[in-house]
């Protein structure tokens, strides 16, 4: 994929992502007065109490924050960040839909899914929508906490405000929405765990690696290892396979060495030969 085409795809992804997020906000969060935090959460509180449109809150809070970020830390604010911030305000303003449900649990679940999927698409396109990440960076500049900790604290206070303004129940459902949205973001960025990584320690490492190469067609990486208890040299094999190939790999290993030590881990994204191409080449 050429650089120009990749840029077009990224900007279209940001448009789609902000539209999905806005649907979650207007269709689920606003009617039920819940949120997964962020500046949109502040907007929902203000919209419900003093009737300020959410899109206006997003613009008034986010755009000055981007300017402040540029002034404090220098450098050019990324065009995708500015575009994503503006598009979220626009989409929240123009997407007008009827409430999808008034069951608050369903609103937390489906609103969290839509918000997370939308933001995940924006993040995959290397954009952001401003909000708490900029505020967190500002807080971290003056307080001895990490960016992730600052974001967590800010979202906590925003959701706590829901409890004070509306009800503790609202705040608790907002925490559910926050958790689901964060998991949805991870899922979109990392993908479903479609692969498995094997770490194999065996006295028959040479035979095992040869059979995996020949019978399954997967590359094997061999790393030098040293058994601390036995004091013996013990090579470590590392191989990544599809879920459908897990049983075959186990058969190969245990047919050769029934006493092999094997660790199987989930792999969310694999880029390289035999799996998917690097994103810039897609």
Burial class (CB in 10 A: 0-12, 13-18, 19+), 160: middle
> pLDDT per residue over 175-220, tens digit each?
999 999 988 888 887 766 678 899 999 989 999 999 999 888 888 9
> pLDDT per residue over 242-266, tens digit each?
888 899 999 999 999 999 999 999 8
CA distances to 10, 44, 201 from 128, in Å: 12, 20, 42
Domain ranges in the chain?
A: 3-190, 195-281
Lowest-confidence pick of 44-48, 102-106, 189-193, 249-253: 189-193
Please state, rounded to an integer, the average pLDDT across all residues of the chain: 85
Count of other CB atoms within 10 angstroms of residue 14: 28
Q: Is the separation of the CB atoms in 202 and 257 below 8 Å?
A: yes
- Bridge partners (DSSP) listed for residue 266: 196
Q: Give the three-state DSSP class for 235.
A: coil
Q: Phi first, then psi: what are they for 235, rounded to 5°?
A: -60, 145
Does 224 or 91 have the greater pLDDT score? 91
Q: Indicate the pLDDT class of residue 72, thresholds 50, 70 and 90.
A: low
CATH 3.20.20.140 at 195-281, yes or no: no
Burial class (CB in 10 A: 0-12, 13-18, 19+), 62: buried
User: Could you tell me the sign of the dihedral formed by the alpha carbons of 251, 255, 258, 262, in that order?
Assistant: negative
The pTM of this model reads 0.75
């Amino acid at each position: 994929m050429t650089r120009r085409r990749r840029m077009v795809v990224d900007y279209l992804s940001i448009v789609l992502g902000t539209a999905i997020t806005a649907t979650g906000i207007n269709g689920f969060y606003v009617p039920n007065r819940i949120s997964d935090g962020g500046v949109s959460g502040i907007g929902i509180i203000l919209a419900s109490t003093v009737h300020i449109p959410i899109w206006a809150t997003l613009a008034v809070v986010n755009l000055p924050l981007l300017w402040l970020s540029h002034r404090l830390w220098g450098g050019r604010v990324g065009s995708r960040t500015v575009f994503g911030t503006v598009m979220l305000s626009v989409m929240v303003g123009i997407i007008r839909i009827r409430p999808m449900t008034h069951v608050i649990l369903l609103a937390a679940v489906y609103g969290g899914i839509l918000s997370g999927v939308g933001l995940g698409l924006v993040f995959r396109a290397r954009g952001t929508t401003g909000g708490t990440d900029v505020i967190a960076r500002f807080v971290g500049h003056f307080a001895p906490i990490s960016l992730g900790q600052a974001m967590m604290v800010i979202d906590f206070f925003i959701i706590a405000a829901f409890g004070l303004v509306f009800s503790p129940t609202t705040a608790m459902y907002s925490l559910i929405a926050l958790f689901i949205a964060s998991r949805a973001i991870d899922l979109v960025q990392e993908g479903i765990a479609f692969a498995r990584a094997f770490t194999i320690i065996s006295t028959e490492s040479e035979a095992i690696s040869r059979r995996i190469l020949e019978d399954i067609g997967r590359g094997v990486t061999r790393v030098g290892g040293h058994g601390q208890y036995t004091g013996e040299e013990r090579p470590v094999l590392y191989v990544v396979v599809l879920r459908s190939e897990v049983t075959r790999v186990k058969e190969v290993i245990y047919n050769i060495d029934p006493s092999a030590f094997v660790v199987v881990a989930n792999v969310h994204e694999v880029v390289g030969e035999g799996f998917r191409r690097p994103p810039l080449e897609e």
